[in-house]
């Protein structure tokens, strides 16, 4: 009898934990990055020093070049990235999803058309792939995920991913690419592109290996 009681208690606790997790996920709000939400994005990224060494999520907008422009003091180079990002947003050439909790941005996912994020094309491993069958097809990219430390492992990245896919679908769909890390070394850097499991849950399939540490995954949205 005691064993049955203990089992029921454990099951009840597990159910409560699952419900709590579900409630937490549904309490998030998502918004598209645009001129109206720029102040939220700016505040979120400024809190984290521009994220990824001051990138301000500009790196993949360039075909080549360093994260921070050479010849400038570090703080000036970071400020330049911030200004560039704002200009791209104002011109409608930078896309992304902000995830909110309690009215504050706590998560981010950058997505965009191939033309908006050309850096991937010059990647050593990506540039070797035969993607000739893509000609004439709309190609979208998911390049960057970032979540506030206090909200990690709480489903925020998944919420951002689903919202990005919804937005891409509303804009006509096409091929959607992701580049998750397959490295076992871990670290927050490896999560910048998202995880294989996260994309598999949304129907992405492995398309090609990108060296030893990354995988090209794809999904087609009608």
The average confidence (pLDDT) of the chain is 88
Burial zone of 24 (CB within 10 Å; 0-12 exposed, 13-18 middle, 19+ buried): middle
pTM for the whole structure = 0.85
Residue 23 lies in a domain: no
Whether the Cβ atoms of residue 143 and residue 193 lie closer than 8 Å to each other: yes
pLDDT(10) > 70: no
Average pLDDT over residues 194-217: 96
pLDDT in tens, 93-128: 999 999 999 999 999 999 999 999 999 999 999 999
Residue 43 lies in a domain: yes
Whether the Cβ atoms of residue 144 and residue 193 lie closer than 8 Å to each other: yes
pLDDT in tens, 33-84: 999 999 999 999 999 999 988 999 999 999 988 778 888 899 999 999 999 9
Residue 19 lies in a domain: no
DSSP run (H or E) holding 45: helix 38-47
Average pLDDT over residues 201-206: 98
pLDDT in tens, 175-189: 999 999 998 775 666
Residue 174 lies in a domain: yes
Task: State the pLDDT at residue 67.
Answer: 79
How do strand 214-221 and strand 205-210 relate by DSSP bridges?
antiparallel
What is the number of domains present in the chain? 1
Residue 9 lies in a domain: no
pLDDT(87) > 50: yes
CATH number at residue 131: 3.40.630.30
Q: Residue 220 corresponds to which tokens in the numbers above?
A: 């087609």
Residue 16 lies in a domain: no
Residue 17 lies in a domain: no
Residue 216 lies in a domain: yes
For the beta sheet containing 174-178, the strands, ordered from the edge strand earlier in sequence to the opposite edge, are 29-32, 95-101, 104-113, 139-147, 174-178, 214-221, 205-210
Q: Residue 176 corresponds to which tokens in the numbers above?
A: 């959607």
pLDDT(194) > 80: yes
Per the structure, the complete domain to which residue 104 belongs is given by 29-221
Whether the Cβ atoms of residue 57 and residue 110 lie closer than 8 Å to each other: yes
Average pLDDT over residues 3-16: 45
């Amino acid at each position: 009898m005691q064993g049955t009681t203990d089992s029921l208690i454990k099951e009840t606790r597990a159910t409560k934990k699952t419900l709590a997790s579900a409630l937490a996920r549904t309490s998030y709000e998502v918004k598209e990055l645009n001129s109206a939400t720029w102040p939220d994005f700016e505040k979120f990224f400024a809190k984290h020093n521009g994220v990824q060494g001051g990138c301000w999520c500009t790196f993949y907008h360039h075909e080549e070049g360093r994260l921070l422009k050479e010849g400038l003091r570090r703080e000036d180079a970071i400020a330049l990235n911030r200004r560039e990002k704002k200009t791209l947003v104002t011109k409608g050439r930078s896309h992304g999803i902000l995830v909110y909790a309690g009215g504050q941005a706590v998560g981010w996912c950058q997505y965009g058309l191939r033309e908006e994020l050309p850096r991937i094309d010059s990647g050593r491993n990506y540039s070797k792939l035969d993607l000739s069958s893509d000609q004439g097809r709309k190609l979208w990219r998911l390049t960057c995920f970032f979540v506030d430390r206090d909200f990690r492992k709480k489903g925020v990245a998944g919420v951002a991913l689903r919202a990005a896919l919804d937005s891409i679908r509303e804009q006509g769909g096409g091929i959607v690419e992701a580049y998750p890390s397959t490295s076992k070394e871990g670290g927050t850097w490896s999560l910048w592109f998202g995880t294989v499991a996260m994309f598999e849950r949304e129907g992405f399939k492995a398309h090609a290996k990108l060296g030893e540490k990354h995988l090209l995954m794809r999904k087609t949205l009608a």
